A and B are shown apart, each in its own frame.
Chain A
Amino acid sequence: MSALLELEHLSVTFETPQGPVHAVQDVSLTIEGGSIVGLVGESGCGKSTLGRAILRLLPENATVAGSVRFAGRDVLALSPKEIRDLRGRNLAMIFQDPMTRLNPLMRIRDHFIETIRAHNPAVKSGQALERAKKVLADVRVPSDRLGMYPHELSGGMRQRVMIALCLLFKPALLIADEPTTALDVILEAQILQLLQSIMHEYSMSVLLITHNLGLVAEFSDRVAVMYAGRIAEEGATPPLFREPRHPYTQGLLRSVIDLETTSLYSVPGEPPSLLGETAGCPFYPRCDKRMAVCETVYPEPRLVGEDHRKVACHLY
């Protein structure tokens, strides 16, 4: 398998009135074709920014450094026309809150017709609707929903519609930014199972951005744990969950409810502010294994152990 998406030393900085905010710093990550990669971290750690940077959906006050290569193409160097063509066709994205992601003034059918025509203006609306019906069937949405307006659908239905809109052109990679956070637990399982089965059907890779460790453990092939804009640890899912190496990952895994002891651990302290320059390891103030070197020198990620896990920690 070849690398579908390669991020190299990707950094995103937002210019704000308070100063530059380093939302993503020096992230290198590879997604192979046909795999699900989970990107986990606390709120505000930069994981959604990372997802948007790949599609170049960031606001104007963001500067992106490093490189994003998608199927061999340098995404950051594409013209506006080329990136627009890539979006929705080869690279698709679904978002956290399906309730607000569809245009309230447009019928569902018009969302489909618009998206198909955006990439293929020659298609007649009748043909477009036929195609819409096919993908809707794949995400188990009855085709009578096409005539409805977004507010007439439930949250789960809307997320399925959003997924169907992404599937129209069989994209190679789907970025799913907290796709189930706004849904209840039963819907969450349904949507993720749907994503999993569709992924195989459409031979599509998924970057699953979430704060939910359980989802990642269950659905992803590889995991990247993000902390304060950087990747702390990255590797294949089973060994990483079995034997977490980075103290932050260890803390995260301990903070999942343990039903046997009924105690709930939480990583002490707060994530650092991403405003301004920082030296040393960002996890240093909260780390229970910190050393003198951690305060001043950032630990460059290195490959550790037999499973070739990348860990950014001075312990290794």
Chain B
Amino acid sequence: MPGSTASLRAYVITRVILMVPMLVLLLTFTFIILRVAPGDPVSTIYGERGNPQVIDRIKTELGLYDPLYVQFFRYLRDVFTGNMGTSILTQRPVIDEITSRMPATIELTFSSMLVASVLGIGLGTFAGTRRDRLPDFATRLYGALAYNIPIFWFGLILKLIFAVWLGWLPVSGRFSPRLSPPPTVTGLYTIDSLLAGNLPAFVDAVAHLVLPSLTLGIVLSGFFVRITRVNVIHAMGSDYVEAARARGIPERSVFFRHGLKNALVPVITTMGLTFALLFSGAILTETVFSFEGMGRFVFLAISYRDYPAIQGAVVYYGILMVVISLGIDILNAFVDPRIRY
């Protein structure tokens, strides 16, 4: 698409600029919701038997007694000067907490997405081409079950079978303590170990990823099965597929070039939207497998009303979602010539 590269670039730039007002809105809502929700970080951390004078003093130091708008604009000013604040719970800068944990979550979500799309698209195509026959019913049943299975329970069962009983895979964590992790480049253990040429480290990192990403990926694959199946049925029954058959195009090409390719356009779009689902699913999965990513950090931050930490995490998730959906848009523009920006 030679003529449209320029317009695509303009579109990407616009989307990046639009991120600023979007983040301000996101921050505003998060800020308000956190302040409206009962409890505050200091009282939560010290508990009911904490010394009220100490709690009062710390709350004054943290500025929690200032009027809300003062707190809000102070926070906004900090954020736009690159200061995300300090975690009340860990006393470390929020930005450090996030950058050290984000790679684990990215590794988990992307490998889960890989599992979900391979399983989901594969099974969905299988079912869609055998409509209303036994394999179709079986696959649809799988889809419904997988999508409705509780992540927490499913993760524990997988862990019990493959890690505890069979001992094939590690029980928890991201990396074995007996190995030394690869030097940090991207923070993703899989990629960093490959960059360092350290094969044992790579195998170890992947082994730790298998169960968490199967847990999250299988649950999400239920969703992909359904949407792929519907789109394959729709595309294979379309007018252009019939016309291709009428021209004597071999059935293989009819299926791959005309049917499947068209069926996958809407699937790619939904893939982008599902990332949000993945991030929330990752919180549960990381907790089950003690996988030190954003999920556990967010879980603790919310439990203790760690305002700066929660707000920082929301900003990061927001940016990540924008980047992902932008990537999906660009991918779509390359696949479907009707999509132009």
Contacts and interface: CB of A to CB of B under 8 A. Distances in A.
A86 B248 CA distance: 7
A57 interface: yes
A189 B251 CA distance: 35
Of the listed residues A80, A84, A166, the one surrounded by the most CB atoms of chain B closer than 10 A to its CB is: A84
Contact of B337 (A80, A84, A105, A166): A105
Taking residues whose C-beta sits less than 8 angstroms from the other chain, chain B's interface range is 20 to 34
Given A114-B257, A118-B253, A151-B337, A104 B247 contact: no
A190 B243 CA distance: 22
B62 interface: no
A222 interface: no
A208 interface: no
Contacts of B239: 95, 97, 100-101
A87 B262 contact: no
A57 B245 contact: yes
Contacts, number: 75
Given A104-B337, A105-B262, A106-B257, A88 B248 contact: yes
B250 A103 contact: no
A2 B257 CA distance: 39
A27 interface: no
Contacts of A165: 247
Interface string A66-89: 000000000000001000111111
Interface in B247-280: 247-251, 253, 257-258, 261-262, 265
Contact of A149 (B248, B261, B262, B337): B337
Interface string A50-72: 00000101000000000000000
Contacts of B238: 100
A85 B248 contact: yes
Interface string A297-309: 0000000000000
A4 interface: no
Nearest to B338: A151
Contact of B336 (A89, A93, A101, A104): A104
B230 interface: no
B335 A95 contact: no
Contacts of B247: 87-88, 92, 115, 118, 165-166
Contact of A88 (B240, B246, B251): B246
B78 interface: no
B96 interface: no
Nearest to B248: A88
B253 A87 contact: no
Contacts of B248: 84-89, 115, 118-119
B249 A115 contact: yes
B240 A103 contact: yes
A103 B257 CA distance: 9
Interface string B219-246: 0000000000000000000111011111
Q: Secondary structure of the B side of the interface?
A: helix
Interface in A164-222: 165-166
Interface in B302-341: 335-338
Contacts of B336: 104-105
Given A100-B240, A102-B240, A104-B338, A87 B257 contact: no
Contacts of A119: 248
Contacts of A86: 248
B240 A92 contact: no
A162 interface: yes
B3 to A, nearest CB: 11
Interface in A113-131: 114-115, 118-119
A49 to B, nearest CB: 13
Nearest to A104: B338
A162 B243 CA distance: 9
Contacts of B262: 103-105
Contacts of B257: 103, 106, 114
A300 B90 CA distance: 93
Nearest to B240: A103
B245 A87 contact: yes
A262 B337 CA distance: 49
B248 to A, nearest CB: 3
A92 B196 CA distance: 60
A86 B243 CA distance: 14
Contact of A102 (B243, B251, B253): B243
A102 B258 CA distance: 9
A68 to B, nearest CB: 15
A100 B249 CA distance: 17
A119 B249 CA distance: 8
B133 to A, nearest CB: 10
A203 to B, nearest CB: 20
Contacts of A107: 337
A130 to B, nearest CB: 19
24 contacts: A55-B246, A80-B251, A84-B249, A84-B251, A87-B245, A87-B247, A88-B247, A88-B249, A93-B246, A95-B243, A95-B246, A101-B239, A101-B240, A102-B243, A103-B262, A104-B336, A104-B337, A105-B262, A105-B337, A114-B249, A115-B249, A118-B249, A118-B250, A151-B338
Given A84-B248, A87-B246, A151-B337, 14 more contacts: A84-B249, A86-B248, A87-B248, A88-B248, A93-B246, A95-B242, A101-B239, A105-B261, A106-B258, A115-B247, A115-B248, A149-B338, A151-B338, A166-B247
**A-B CB proximity, top 10 nearest:** A88-B248, A88-B247, A87-B248, A100-B239, A101-B243, A149-B337, A93-B246, A103-B240, A115-B247, A118-B249
